[in-house]
Amino acid sequence: MYNWFYHLDIPLEVWCGATVIALVTCVLGHVCPSLRWKPEGRASLRLASWAMVLPVFTLIQFTNVFLIAGSSNVVQEAGPDGREAWSSWLSTWPLFFFGNPVSILLAVWACCLTPRRINTAWTWLARGAVLITAICAYQIVVRLFPDA
């Protein structure tokens, strides 16, 4: 059976860009009074913010293990210096594997939660960026299964 999700190749730039957009729009939505959403839209902003937490930690862990430490998802290829980084990826992988689909569902729910009358470009940008971030995080976690 062909697993299309495994062969989906999302560039790291898309994941990082969507994460930055999601962080900026959600933080500005909470902090800036002029950009605050109406009370009806705040629930979707809170939900999108919660949906963003685990994909951001996934990106941080991915960056630490694979880009900074130069490790591999296969312990034999990680080398002596990369074994600790591989062990870190191994210990967090189950949380990412089971938690990121929940983040995807929360992001989809946030997209469906806001009433149509307050759907502005700002709200769609925040919720769409969170959804893209969660999908990219899960795709990376599925592709980089820690192997011994």
- Segment 90-103 mean pLDDT: 93
For 107, the domain range is: 11-143
DSSP states of 92-143: HHHHHHHHHHHHHHHHHHHHHHS-GGG--HHHHHHHHHHHHHHHHHHHHHHH
Q: Structurally, how many domains does the chain consist of? A: 1
Residues 147, 75 contacting (CB under 8 angstroms) = yes
pTM: 0.82
Q: With respect to residue 102, please indicate whether it lies within any of the assigned structural domains.
A: yes
Q: With respect to residue 4, please indicate whether it lies within any of the assigned structural domains.
A: no
Q: Each residue of 21-74: pLDDT tens digit?
A: 888 888 777 776 555 556 666 777 788 888 999 999 999 998 888 888 888 778
Percent of the chain with pLDDT over 70: 82
Q: With respect to residue 148, please indicate whether it lies within any of the assigned structural domains.
A: no
